[in-house]
Amino acid sequence: EPEVTQTPSHQVTQMGQEVILRCVPISNHLYFYWYRQILGQKVEFLVSFYNNEISEKSEIFDDQFSVERPDGSNFTLKIRSTKLEDSAMYFCASGGVHEQYFGPGTRLTVT
Amino acid sequence: GNSVTQMEGPVTLSEEAFLTINCTYTATGYPSLFWYVQYPGEGLQLLLKATKADDKGSNKGFEATYRKETTSFHLEKGSVQVSDSAVYFCALANSGGGADGLTFGKGTHLIIQP
């Protein structure tokens, strides 16, 4: 069964550094998403991406975040200058109109 | 804006007990409703969904009915197993299209004891 994959599973970085989180969505899906889950809190929507551009973004997705689909398979989330409060589990998802399938997540730890 | 409220956990039950996890929502228009499950150390898995009022979503013995009049989507299972222990998230998406992000509830941690 096709699945969404994410790399790395765990990323540790120092405050102020740039990080890139990578995702390979399910191949025939058209919509791509990023979410985050701070430890002990709810899953929060960051951004959706369709037809090679951002479709919707939340208030969390400020100028320090960017997304890219650099080739036909990968979908990346870049955080330009990480802050301590960016420490969270980041989930990629892909899907169609009524379904979103999630990857296993990348745990980002900012020290 | 959209919001989802679900019962706080943890919910602890014995094996074969009946399960209900309450979920209510606030949204404009006619959202689609979902239940996701997160097993320890894993990502979110879509458990079931309903896209319009009175629809019943079902999967793996779980079911939930989209009740527009009470803005609810309660999750039920007739006989739970130890393997059902996980965190369950209720979520909604606006009906505007696939680009809409999901709005999640806080999650309910379910613990099933043998």
Task: State pLDDT tens for residues A71-94.
Answer: 878 999 999 999 999 999 999 999
pLDDT computed for residue B97 by the predictor: 63
Q: Is the CB of residue B76 less than 8 Å away from at least one CB of chain A?
A: no
Residue A109: C-alpha distances to residues A35, A39, A86, B6 (Å)? 16, 11, 8, 28
DSSP assignment letter at A98: S
Q: What whole-number distance in Å separates Cα of residue B77 and Cα of residue B28? A: 29
Chain A partners within 8 Å of B96 (Cβ): none
Q: What whole-number distance in Å separates Cα of residue A59 and Cα of residue A107? A: 21
Per-residue pLDDT band at B95 (split at 50, 70, 90): low
Average pLDDT over residues B98-108: 89
Share of chain B above pLDDT 90, in %: 81
Of B95 and A63, the structure prediction assigns the larger pLDDT to: A63
pLDDT digits (tens, 9 = 90+) for B22-74: 999 999 888 999 999 999 878 899 999 999 999 999 999 999 999 999 999 99
Average pLDDT over residues A1-23: 95
CB A106 within 8 A of CB A9: yes
Residue B60: C-alpha distances to residues A57, B4, B83, B89, B104 (Å)? 33, 23, 11, 16, 21
Q: Is the CB of residue A5 less than 8 Å away from at least one CB of chain B?
A: no
